[in-house]
């Protein structure tokens, strides 16, 4: 892991120097997000624009709105605009394959970010999502002293979400006194998660804990838990600013989140893409560590 980070950082410096010597026109970078109506991806977008500006590159950003047809069309349009690099955050890892092939056929460097895609991708940079679920749910189980009913607030069936749930279940399986009594899809949206959590709480009066696959959904879940007056502990994944604020509140039911690093992810992705563009061999994947943030660490944590 450390070596991969060092390599990617060196790649940024080396590739940028080569770009300055060998590229007359500014590099054109396309970034296709599965969504941008999310603080996590807003932060990633800002970091990309800052990094691109520092090397004199131009950036085209699109929002798929979780529609693979739109994302495919967006990518095809960017290829027509002659992008040099495509940073892709796929909304459907399988469905976007034709767009990846089309980009590669035109000589575009393709690096996936946060979630991987099928097809001839040059490299993938993403969080250790299994670890995120495992860390959060181990913390939850320990806080519950290994006893009680627990629910999972699931999300859209993309690989990062599936891996978080798998990591959570792996962690909880190590505690015989913990029972998963409900798994429902909050679609990673605040309003939807609130309604789903209300239903879970009503159907499971003995519920003691909940794992949410992301912080946006967790904030909806937190509202439902607080309104119910029940003592249900909540953990999540992301490290979003609003989640950190919620964890810091006195007597908060939101006790921890497994934080990701969106700025690091997109900077590494750009560095790897630049290295590939200028002829370097790059790794097929670069896993990015996550960190469990509880009340003790929340006051000093930020994206």
Q: Is residue 150 part of a domain?
A: yes
Strand order in the sheet with 291-294: 178-185, 148-154, 207-212, 233-238, 254-259, 291-294
Question: Are 86 and 170 contained in the same domain?
Answer: no
Q: Which residue's entry shows tokens 């798929």?
A: 64
Task: Judge whether residue 16 has pLDDT over 50.
Answer: no
Percent of all residues in the chain with a pLDDT value above 70, rounded to a whole number: 92
Phi first, then psi, for residue 173 (nearest 5°) are -65, -20
Instruction: Provide the domain count of the chain.
Output: 2
Q: What is the pLDDT of residues 254-267, one digit of tens each?
A: 999 999 999 999 99
Whether 109 and 134 share a structural domain: no
The predicted-structure confidence for 76-102, as pLDDT tens digits, reads as follows 999 999 999 999 999 999 999 999 999
Query: Do 271 and 247 contact (CB within 8 A), yes or no?
Result: no
Q: Domain check: are 240 and 270 in the same one?
A: no
pLDDT reading at 250 higher than 50? yes
pLDDT of 24 reads 57
**Is 272 within the bounds of a domain?**
yes
Q: Are strands 123-127 and 85-88 parallel, antiparallel or unpaired?
A: unpaired
């Amino acid at each position: 892991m450390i070596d991969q980070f060092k390599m990617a950082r060196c790649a940024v410096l080396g590739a940028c120097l080569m770009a300055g010597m060998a590229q007359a026109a500014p590099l054109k970078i396309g970034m296709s997000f599965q969504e941008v109506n999310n603080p996590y991806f807003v932060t990633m977008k800002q970091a990309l624009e800052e990094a691109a500006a520092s090397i004199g590159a131009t950036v085209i950003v699109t929002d798929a709105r979780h529609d693979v047809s739109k994302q495919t069309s967006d990518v095809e349009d960017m290829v027509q605009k002659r992008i040099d690099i495509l940073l892709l955050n796929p909304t459907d890892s399988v469905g976007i394959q034709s767009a990846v092939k089309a980009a590669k056929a035109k000589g575009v460097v393709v690096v996936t970010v946060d979630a991987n895609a099928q097809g001839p991708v040059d490299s993938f940079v993403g969080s250790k999502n299994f670890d995120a679920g495992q860390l959060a749910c181990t913390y939850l189980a320990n806080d519950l002293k290994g006893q009680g009913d627990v629910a999972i607030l699931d999300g859209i069936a993309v690989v990062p979400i599936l891996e978080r749930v798998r990591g959570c279940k792996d962690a909880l399986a190590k505690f015989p006194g913990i029972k998963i009594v409900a798994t429902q899809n909050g679609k990673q949206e605040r309003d939807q998660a609130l309604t789903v959590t209300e239903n879970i709480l009503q159907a499971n009066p003995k519920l003691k804990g909940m794992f949410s696959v992301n912080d946006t959904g967790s904030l909806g879940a937190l509202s439902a838990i607080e309104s119910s007056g029940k003592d249900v502990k909540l953990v999540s994944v992301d490290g979003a600013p609003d989640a950190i604020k919620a964890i810091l509140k006195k007597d908060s039911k939101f006790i921890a989140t497994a934080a990701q690093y969106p700025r690091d992810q997109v900077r590494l992705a750009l560095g790897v893409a630049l290295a590939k563009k200028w002829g370097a061999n790059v790794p097929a994947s670069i896993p990015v560590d996550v960190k469990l943030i509880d009340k003790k660490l929340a006051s000093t944590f930020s994206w």
